[in-house]
Homo-oligomer: A and B are copies of this chain.
Amino acid sequence: MTTATNADITDIAKLIAKLDIGMLTTKAPDGTLHGRPMSNNGDVEYDGDTWFFAEDGSRKVSEIETDPAVQLGFIASDAATWINVEGEATIVRDDVDRKRDFWSDDLARWFPNGPEDPTVVLIKVQARRIDAWAQDGAWQLDLRD
Contacts and interface: CB of A to CB of B under 8 A. Distances in A.
Nearest to A67: B31
Copies of the chain in the assembly: 2
A23 B82 contact: yes
A86 B20 contact: no
A86 B33 contact: yes
A23 B75 contact: yes
Question: Which interface residue of A21, A35, A75 has the most chain B CB atoms within 10 A?
Answer: A35
A135 interface: no
A73 B31 contact: no
Main SS of chain A's interface residues?
strand
Interface residues of A, number: 34
Contact of A84 (B34, B78, B131): B34
A84 B1 contact: no
Contact of A35 (B27, B71, B128): B71
